[in-house]
Structure formats: structure tokens, C-alpha cells
Amino acid sequence: MAQGPTVAAVTPEARQALPEAVRQGIRAVANKAHMPFDGPQMDLFPNLELIAHFGVGYDAIDVAAASARGIRVTNTPDVLNEDVADLAVAMMLAFSRDIIRGDAWVREGTWASGRELPLNRKMSGARAGIAGMGRIGRAIADRLAAFGMEIHYTSRSEKQTPGWHWHGNDVVSLAGAVDWLVVAVVGGEETRGYVSKEALAALGSDGVVVNIARGSCIDEEALIAALEAREIAGAALDVFYNEPHVDARLVALDTVLLQPHQASATVETRRDMSVLQCDNLAAHLAGRALLTPVN
């Protein structure tokens, strides 16, 4: 779907290294998820008109800086909701039924030697809290409701739901009412440390945190401290502060289930994300309205 000459420059260093004549000619950038793109980088491309981002979260892009320079930003929402929700539920099931250790016991012969896996934790019928009832949060809640779970949630405004419990934007209140706290808020400075030390304390010793949002949405130091002190029962995490370099203290804990930020990583969804990113690029270069504008 090339609309003209293309240049690959993924990192800030690679963009800086491009010849000035090349940078002058660039009108649009296809940005990969989690790759930072700030004002100084935008200034490398004086004729830049569009940053088409691959991913629903666009916190890696300084949207305010883009707007100040007249640069449009797009993302790829909706097409990944179902896969992200699927992984959230999969992690909850894997944590509650000790799936990873059970697999290892069969493979390693532990089960055949006469040892039985300790009794697990029941998930169906428990209380689930969705921190951030946006499109992904709603998809998660719908799935958990099918497990007979009591649904609580935070959001800026109350949503139309089948009798679910709204806690405003008070994540501490939410955490205090549930057994599972699923983090689905958007990333960025506004939600940095959204799940705080106080929220973790309110969740309590039987509570489990599930994060498929951004690592920054949880106070990671407070989370590690709560896990090490057994002040919460555990965590299932697909995202981290300094990913892919995960804090060694999290890796060492047997009460944490870890995933490599793969919530949207299916062939079908990554294809749909790529198509939407390309469609935004094509629309802009053809002078048509953007499909999924951010600013």
C-alpha cells in the first residue's frame, strides 16, 4: 500500500541519523506501539503532518506537542478489544487454577511420583473490579459476568450496565469491594500510579491484581512490597514499568503470573491493527477524513 518512498527509522537515534533532505520530505510516520515520539523528534521532520500509531494506547506520543505543531495523531482502537479481554480472563483462570505449575508437574513427572497439586482458588462467583470501564474494560466485564462474578467498576461517568456497581473514579473504594482488581485504564501521566499503595491495602490479603493496561498504571514499588509481605494474594501481569526488563523481584515471586505484553498478539488482531494504521495513512495522504483520530 505504498503511497510513495518509505524510510525505516524505528529509534530516535535512527531518525536523527537520517539525512536532512530525507527528513524534509517525510509527511507521515507509522509509529510502532510503545516507541516514544516527543516534540524534539517531531522537529526533525519539519513537514510532518501525521503520526499513525500502531496500538490503542498512545501515551508514548506527546499528543500535546503534536497538536501544537499541527500534526495529527491516529491510533488503532476497537480491533484489539476482544483479544485483550481474552488474555485478561485467561490470566485470571491460569492464576486461580495454577495452570502453569500444573502443566510443569505433569511434564516433569511430579504428578506421577504421587504428589498432587494443592487445592486451587475458585474464580466463578467471585467479585471482580474493573479499573477503567472503557471499551476494553467492558469486554472484560462482559466475560467475567458470564462466570457469575459480581462486577464493580470505576469510570468518569456511570455506564449503562445490568446492575453493576459504579465507584466513580475511586479505585480505593473499588479495591475494597472486590477479590480481583483488573486494571484497564488508559496509560499516560493522568493514570500513573492509579492503583496506589492505598488501593492495594484496600484489596487485602485475598485480593489479586490483573494488569493488561500499562505498567505505569500501578505503583510497582507498592505492588512488589505488598506481594513480598503477602498483603495481597498475588498478581497477573502482562505489562511492566521497564519492560521488557522486568523487575527481578517480580520474577522471583511465586505469587505472580507473568506475560510478555502479548494481550493483542494474535495473527488476526495484529493484522487488523496494521490495516487500520495503513488506512489512516492512506486517508490522510489522499486528503480524506482520518478513521480514528486522537487529536
Spot the catalytic one: 53, 152, 214, 284.
214
Enter the DSSP assignment of 284. H
**Angstrom distance (rounded) from CA 264 to CA 262:** 6
Residue where the block lists cell 495454577: 98
Helix 99-108 to helix 81-96 angle (10° resolution) is 60
Alpha-carbon torsion angle 130, 133, 136, 137, nearest 10: 20
Question: Is residue 178 classed as helix, strand or coil in its secondary structure?
Answer: coil
Spot the catalytic one: 15, 53, 167, 261.
261
69 is catalytic: no
| Strand partners of residue 151 | 128
Rg for the chain, CA atoms, rounded: 21
261 is catalytic: yes
**Residue 151, phi then psi, degrees to nearest 5:** -100, 130
Question: Which residue from 203, 254, 257 is spatially nearest to 232, judged by alpha carbons?
Answer: 203
**Angstrom distance (rounded) from CA 226 to CA 287:** 52
Spot the catalytic one: 135, 243, 249, 270.
243
**Angstrom distance (rounded) from CA 155 to CA 132:** 5
What one-letter code names the amino acid at 291? L
**Angstrom distance (rounded) from CA 45 to CA 36:** 15
Please give the positions annotated as active site: 214, 243, 261
